[in-house]
Structure 1
Amino acid sequence: MEEKRVVPKPLKEILQWDVSLTEKFVKFVDQKYGPLAKFKGRLKGLEYSCHGIPWLVGTATFIFLIPDQFVRQLLVNIFLALILDIIVIAVVKAITRRRRPLGNKGDEMFATVLVDKYSFPSGHATRAVMLSILLPLQFDLILPTSLVLIAWGGAVCVSRVLLQRHHILDVVGGVIIGVLQALFMSKFWLSPQSAQGLVNFFLDETQSGASFDV
């Protein structure tokens, strides 16, 4: 049985305010632009577009399928960023253990990880924000591409509330963590040689240890 924790009164009041604000926001959007049910497919599409498991499996697979040096460097760094994101989110969720909104249907794709039943922070928000900021930070992307990435990240964040997967503060916390992760990974971005060395290590293509440059 999970130990019942005593939540300090000031924090409890903030969480209750957040629950109320989230419910009012969802109701407002439902009445103003809804019903939300007609947008369910699009909202679920945004959910799938940033789910951690497809991103992780897909990135790891293409690392070994695509030999191009630039593409491999990009994929290796994204993979490391995703691993960082998973670790950070798992730790924070295990510490906070906030329950998801009452309206959550529990039908999220691949929602099998124990800590995933917790709400703070939103893992989709951290991942979407991290990726939409990290890539423009590392590459000289044309403005429309950067704007599309940012718009996608923002849409994913809003969808988490409208799908009632998370409260508003869960998403805000995810945005903050996502920004910090993007800044961290941009400082430790592996060079093409280091990325290839890491791949060689797992492929056992070299006998000696590879050096890693950032």
Structure 2
Amino acid sequence: MATASASQPAKAHVTQAPAKSALLGGVGDLDAAVSLRLHALFLPVPRLLLKALEVAGDGRIWLPVPISLLLISTTTSSKVSPLLAGLVAGLVLDILFVGVAKLIVRRPRPAYNAADMYVAVAADHWSFPSGHSSRAFLVAGFLAAGGFPKEALFLWAAATSASRVLLGRHYVLDVVAGACLGVFEAWLSSLLLTSMCTRISFLVC
């Protein structure tokens, strides 16, 4: 009897109605229904694996580490590492683009989102687009263009994006928009880097 009553809150937790965003309208409703279905369907997936993907795509890792490596490289070489410079530029653009989009769309996160989010992330109530997805595809796209193995990179980016829906952090549309934004940011940061290399080649490249 105690087991049945203990499982009841969990079931109710998964089936809560999602909050809406005025800008997305009916598309948002359909997206929320599909996302909830996927979240419930893949609940048997080990949460530890999904959390590992969440940490691997965390901005508190991806922004400080490249910046630190970039600063270290400037002290050991007369030239700035183009790979690190472009990656940092892309990550900064990602913060700006995602932040502005979230403030404009103001789509709340899924109501069934678990409470085990990091404090800094939990303070971000808006769901569209997914910052983890944009960041993962930015990194994958930029590093793939730099000669790194693209299959492994994009597999990681796709798994990270999928984990956002399975964890209940985001809706499907959030991660699709984030992935598209990340690919655009990778292209834009590569374009900026190429321009920078052409104009100040004595400092970069």
Q: Tell me the TM-score normalised to structure 1 length.
A: 0.75
What is the identity percentage for the equivalent residue pairs of Structure 1 and Structure 2? 30
User: In the superposition, relative to structure 1, how do residues 156 and 73 fare at CA in structure 2: closer, same or farther (>3 Å)?
Assistant: same
Q: CA deviation at 1:62?
A: 1.6
Q: CA deviation at 1:193?
A: 8.9
SS in 1 for 2:161: helix
User: In the superposition, relative to structure 1, how do residues 70 and 27 fare at CA in structure 2: closer, same or farther (>3 Å)?
Assistant: farther
What is the one-letter code of the residue matched to 1:152?
W
Residue 48 of structure 2 corresponds to: 41
User: In the superposition, relative to structure 1, how do residues 106 and 175 fare at CA in structure 2: closer, same or farther (>3 Å)?
Assistant: same
Q: CA RMSD in A?
A: 2.7
Residue 201 of structure 1 corresponds to: none
- Unaligned residue ranges in structure 2 (runs of 5+): 1-19
User: In the superposition, relative to structure 1, how do residues 82 and 69 fare at CA in structure 2: closer, same or farther (>3 Å)?
Assistant: farther
Note if contact 2:86-2:190 (Cα within 8 Å) is conserved in structure 1. Answer: no
Residue 104 of structure 1 corresponds to: 113
User: In the superposition, relative to structure 1, how do residues 191 and 109 fare at CA in structure 2: closer, same or farther (>3 Å)?
Assistant: farther
Q: Does 1:128 align with 2:136?
A: yes
User: In the superposition, relative to structure 1, how do residues 13 and 191 fare at CA in structure 2: closer, same or farther (>3 Å)?
Assistant: same
Q: Tell me the TM-score normalised to structure 2 length.
A: 0.78
- Unaligned residue ranges in structure 1 (runs of 5+): 198-212
Residue 207 of structure 1 corresponds to: none
User: In the superposition, relative to structure 1, how do residues 62 and 6 fare at CA in structure 2: closer, same or farther (>3 Å)?
Assistant: closer
Mapped partners of 2:144, 2:78: distance in 1:
19
Note if contact 2:87-2:142 (Cα within 8 Å) is conserved in structure 1. Answer: no
Residue 3 of structure 2 corresponds to: none
Q: Does 1:179 align with 2:148?
A: no
Q: CA deviation at 1:126?
A: 0.4
SS in 1 for 2:114: coil
Mapped partners of 2:137, 2:22: distance in 1:
29
Mapped partners of 2:30, 2:105: distance in 1:
17
| Aligned partner (choices 52, 59, 65) of residue 72 of structure 2 | 65
Q: CA deviation at 1:191?
A: 2.9
Mapped partners of 1:94, 1:27: distance in 2:
28
User: In the superposition, relative to structure 1, how do residues 63 and 193 fare at CA in structure 2: closer, same or farther (>3 Å)?
Assistant: farther
Q: 1:120-145 deviations in whole A, cap 9, x for unaligned?
A: 000000010111112222x234xxx2
User: In the superposition, relative to structure 1, how do residues 192 and 109 fare at CA in structure 2: closer, same or farther (>3 Å)?
Assistant: farther
Note if contact 1:70-1:192 (Cα within 8 Å) is conserved in structure 2. Answer: no
Residue 55 of structure 1 corresponds to: 62
Q: 1:24-71 deviations in whole A, cap 9, x for unaligned?
A: 1122223xxx1x3xx111111111111112211111112122335788
SS in 2 for 1:111: helix
Q: Does 1:163 align with 2:167?
A: yes
Mapped partners of 1:27, 1:56: distance in 2:
32
Q: 1:163-189 deviations in whole A, cap 9, x for unaligned?
A: 100000101111111111111112111
Mapped partners of 1:195, 1:110: distance in 2:
42
Structure possessing the higher relative contact order (Cα contacts under 8 Å, 6 or more residues apart): 2
Note if contact 1:72-1:196 (Cα within 8 Å) is conserved in structure 2. Answer: no
Q: CA deviation at 1:194?
A: 4.6
Note if contact 1:73-1:195 (Cα within 8 Å) is conserved in structure 2. Answer: no
User: In the superposition, relative to structure 1, how do residues 168 and 195 fare at CA in structure 2: closer, same or farther (>3 Å)?
Assistant: farther
